[in-house]
Amino acid sequence: MLTASQRDHIDIVLVSPRNPLNIGAVARAMANFGFEHLSVVAAYQPHWREARSAVGAPDLLQSAREAATLAEAVADSTLVIGTGTLTHRKPEQPVVSLPALAPLLAQELARGGRIALIFGPEKHGLTREDLSWCHTFVQIPTDPRQPSMNLGQAAAVCLYEIAARALNAAQPAPGPNRNPPGLDDNAPAAPSGDLDILAGLICDVMAAANYSPRTMQTANRHAIRLMLRRLRLNSADQRRLLGLFRRILWSFRRSPIRDITK
């Protein structure tokens, strides 16, 4: 099993859960495997902390963090993992199967990173927008005749895999979470919140440069979020790029260019 210190670097995040009983079931599963950090994003029911299904885990519910947005909930995370099935979904990030997740987690824990495991709402799971904050998508193997799982069950299956297998992943397997060649695999990855700051600045530069019509700005923000997570920047590179784009934006604002996109 993972050590207490390793489990302390893993957060469980529920996005817009509808049923307080499901939130309680997730808390119970977390307690079963020794996880303590739960974040709930924009829950539908205001009284979810009182869920009776959190058997043996009422303190975990009371200490859970409440966040208004997914971006806020994962701001400190260096590896954000979305969960679900591929039914009716085409993720724009690398996909790994649940049994292959352990080596990626082992690598991130060895680097001292912080991991967020994300579960979507019961009715439809994580949306395309939700997944734009994820570095990778983990597919939970299910029978195609019944691909969906109850939220509490899905969390229990994933947490068991993490708790039981991540510590035994002796050699992290090559995959989508590895840094590109030439980068130090042991360097701390840039937290998600820092990537969002860089993404916002890049979008400001694109707007100042009249890169595309204003109607494309939302799509551009989505694409930039995904791109920065695929690059797996470390903190030093994030700061370097931040300085570069700030200088570019300053230059554009000193000498505005003519808008040719109208």
Report domain extents, the chain: 4-168, 192-254
**What are the tokens at 163?**
């708790």
Q: Is the pLDDT confidence value at 178 over 80?
A: no
Q: What are 2-33's pLDDT values in tens digits?
A: 888 999 999 999 999 999 999 999 999 999 99
Average pLDDT over residues 178-194: 68
Judged against a pLDDT cut of 80, whether residue 197 lies above it is answered with yes
Instruction: For residue 249, name the pLDDT band (cuts at 50, 70, 90).
Output: very high
| 187, two tokens | 């360097």
- Residue 85 confidence class, pLDDT cut points 50, 70, 90: confident
Pair 49, 63: CB distance under 8 Å: no
Binned at pLDDT 50, 70 and 90, residue 88 comes out as: confident
Q: Kindly indicate the confidence band of residue 86, based on its pLDDT and cuts at 50, 70 and 90.
A: confident
* DSSP class per residue in 133-165: T-SEEEE----TTS----HHHHHHHHHHHHHHH
pLDDT band at residue 124, thresholds of 50, 70 and 90? confident
Give the tokens for residue 80. 């954000």
63-81 pLDDT per residue, tens: 999 999 999 999 999 999 9
Mean pLDDT over 192-210 rounds to 95
Over residues 91-103, the mean pLDDT reads 90
pLDDT surpassing 80 at residue 170: no
Q: Which tokens sit at 94?
A: 């690398």
Helices (H), the chain: 4-7, 20-32, 58-63, 70-73, 101-110, 128-131, 151-165, 192-208, 217-231, 235-254
CATH superfamily of 4-168: SPOUT methyltransferase, trefoil knot domain (3.40.1280.10)
Examine the pLDDT at 165 and tell me if it is beyond 50: yes
What's the chain's length in residues?
262
Percent of the chain with pLDDT over 70: 90
Structure tokens at 139: 């597919």
| Distance separating alpha carbons of residues 35 and 25, to the nearest angstrom | 13
- Tell me how far apart the alpha carbons of residues 70 and 13 are, in angstroms, rounded to a whole number: 8
What is the average pLDDT across 230-237?
Answer: 94
Q: State the sign of the Cα–Cα–Cα–Cα dihedral 99, 104, 108, 109.
A: positive
Distance separating alpha carbons of residues 201 and 262, to the nearest angstrom? 22
Q: For residues 223-239, give the mean pLDDT.
A: 95
Max mean pLDDT among 103-117, 120-134, 171-185, 192-206 falls in 192-206
